A and B are shown apart, each in its own frame.
Chain A
Amino acid sequence: MSPRLRLAVLGVALLALVPGAAATIAHLPDFGATIAAYGERINAIAPGERHVANMVSAINFDLRGLDTLGEEFMLLAAITGTVVLLRGRRGETLTDRAMRLPGRAILPRSEAVQLTCRLAGPLLMMFGLYVVLHATVTPGGGFQGGVILASGTLLAYLGEGYGGWRDMVRSHWLDAMEGGGAVLFTVCGLAPMLTGAAFMQNVLPLGTFRDVFSGGLMLVENAGVALAVCGGFTQLFLEFLEETREADGPEEPGEDSA
C-alpha cells in the first residue's frame, strides 16, 4: 500500500470516528465536576479499613492487588523479551568500551563529574529507598521508588565509567531481583490462603494510620514490586549499554540464517 493511500484510508477512518468521539465527549461528565463512585467509596473507606494514607498504594497493593500481579508479570515478560532478544552477543568482561564510537578518543571522566556523581548517587539511592519505604504513607511506592533506584545506578555509570558500573552491578543479581520480586508478590497472594483466607487477603497486622509500617501485607508486596522494577530497569540499561560496544568474540553462528 502506498503511503498516500494509507494516509487517505486513515483520514477516512478518522473522519468516520469523529461523530462518535464528539458524541462520547459530549456525554462524559463535565471536567472537574465529579468523580466516579468507586473512587469516592475507596477514599471514604480505605483509610479506616486498611490504616493507610496513600490511596493509590491501597488500590495497587490491596484492593486491586490482583491487577497489579498481572501487571507485574507483564513487566517481567517485557524485560525477559528484551534480554532474550539482546543477550546473544554479550560479553561478561568489564571493559570500558560501551557508548564509544570506534576511532574516537576515550577521554577520562573529569573530576567534577566524578565528584558530582559520587555525591549525588548515594543521595539519589537514599531518596529512592525513602520513596519505596513510605509507600503507604506519602506519595510514592514500589514502582516510583524502583525507577529512582535504577536511575541511581546510572549515576555510577556516569561517574565511574562503564567498567566501574559493571563492577558494581552484576547482571545475575538483577535477574534475581527481577524474578524474586515477582515471586515475592505471588507468595503474598498465596500465603494468606494457607491460613484459610482469600487470595491476597491482608492477614498481617495493619499497624497505625500514618505510620511507616502500616498496611500489613501491602508493605511486603510493595517491596516485591520495588525489587522487580529496580532490577528490571537496571537490566534494561545494562542490556542497551552492552549493545553499544563491539562484540568480544565472533558473532554467534547462525545469526544471519535464523
Chain B
Amino acid sequence: MTWLPYAVAAWLFAIGLYGLASSRNLIHLVGCLSVCQSATYVLLLGLGYRYGSIAPIFYDHPPGTPAVDPVMQALVLTDIVVGATLSALLLVLTVQAYKRSGTLDPEHLKPMSRGGDKAAPATSAKHPAR
C-alpha cells in the first residue's frame, strides 16, 4: 500500500475536476477548486514524508536527526496562503457576477451579452437580495 497517499492525491484531484465540470453554482465552483488544490498538499506532503523522521525543526532534537523534507513543507505553506487569497479573489468575482447577472449558475452566464441571461429574474439584477 505504499502508493496509497499518491492515489488519494489523484482521487482528490479527479473529484475536484468532476465538481468543476458539473457545478451549477459559482460558490460551489470555488470550493471544488480548493479540493483540487488540496490534492497538491497531499501529494507534496506524501512525497516529503519518511518513517521515523521528526519535523524539520532542530530545537528539541539536535541537528542531524533524520527529518522529513522541509522543501515540501515550505511549498505547502506558501501554497495554502496564496490559495486562501485566491479563493477570496474568486469569491469577489462571484459577488460581482451575481450583481451583474442576478444568477450564480455558470450555465446562465453569457460572457458576451451585457446583463447576463435575459431569462434570469430581472428584478434581482439591479438590487440583489442580501
Interface contact A33-B74, CB-CB below 8 Å: no
Interchain nearest-CB distance for B59 vs A (Å): 5
- What chain A residues lie within 8 Å of B10 (beta carbons)? 21, 25
Is A68 positioned at the interface, with any CB of B under 8 Å from its CB? yes
Is A254 positioned at the interface, with any CB of B under 8 Å from its CB? no
Q: How far is the CA of A38 from the CA of B69 in the complex (A)?
A: 8
CB closest residue in chain B, given A67: B78
Is B96 positioned at the interface, with any CB of A under 8 Å from its CB? yes
CB closest residue in chain A, given B99: A255
Q: How far is the CA of A98 from the CA of B81 in the complex (A)?
A: 26
Q: How far is the CA of A85 from the CA of B46 in the complex (A)?
A: 37
Our pick among B17, B50, B58, B63 for the contact of A35 (Cβ within 8 Å) is: B50
Is A123 positioned at the interface, with any CB of B under 8 Å from its CB? no
* Residue total for B at the interface (Cβ-Cβ under 8 A): 53
Interchain nearest-CB distance for B130 vs A (Å): 7
Residue from A10, A40, A82 with most neighbouring chain B CB atoms (10 Å): A82
CB closest residue in chain A, given B48: A35
Mask: chain A, 44-76; 1 = CB below 8 Å from B; 0 = not:
100110000111101110001001100100110
With A14-B14, A32-B2 as known contacts, state yes or no: A43 contacts B107, CB within 8 Å. no
Q: How far is the CA of A32 from the CA of B52 in the complex (A)?
A: 9
Q: How far is the CA of A39 from the CA of B53 in the complex (A)?
A: 13
Chain A contact residues (Cβ within 8 angstroms of B): what range? 35 or more
Our pick among A31, A54, A143 for the contact of B2 (Cβ within 8 Å) is: A31
- What chain B residues lie within 8 Å of A60 (beta carbons)? 74, 77-78
Interchain nearest-CB distance for A122 vs B (Å): 24
Q: Which of A191-237 contact B (CB under 8 A)?
A: 210, 229, 232-233, 236
- What chain A residues lie within 8 Å of B96 (beta carbons)? 85
Is B31 positioned at the interface, with any CB of A under 8 Å from its CB? no
Q: How far is the CA of A139 from the CA of B67 in the complex (A)?
A: 14
Interface contact A85-B93, CB-CB below 8 Å: yes
With A56-B70, A59-B74, A232-B85 as known contacts, state yes or no: A31 contacts B4, CB within 8 Å. yes
- What chain A residues lie within 8 Å of B55 (beta carbons)? 139
Interchain nearest-CB distance for A242 vs B (Å): 11
Interface contact B86-A78, CB-CB below 8 Å: yes
Our pick among A14, A36, A47 for the contact of B48 (Cβ within 8 Å) is: A36
23 residue pairs A–B, Cβ–Cβ below 8 Å: A10-B17, A21-B10, A31-B4, A32-B49, A35-B68, A39-B70, A42-B71, A43-B63, A43-B67, A55-B57, A56-B57, A59-B74, A71-B81, A78-B86, A81-B92, A82-B92, A86-B95, A102-B130, A143-B78, A144-B77, A210-B59, A236-B88, A256-B100
A interface residues with partner B (beta carbon < 8 Å): 3, 6-7, 10, 14, 21, 25-26, 28-36, 38-40, 42-44, 47-48, 53-56, 58-60, 64, 67-68, 71, 74-75, 78-79, 81-82, 85-86, 101-102, 137-139, 141, 143-144, 147, 210, 229, 232-233, 236, 239-240, 243-244, 246, 256
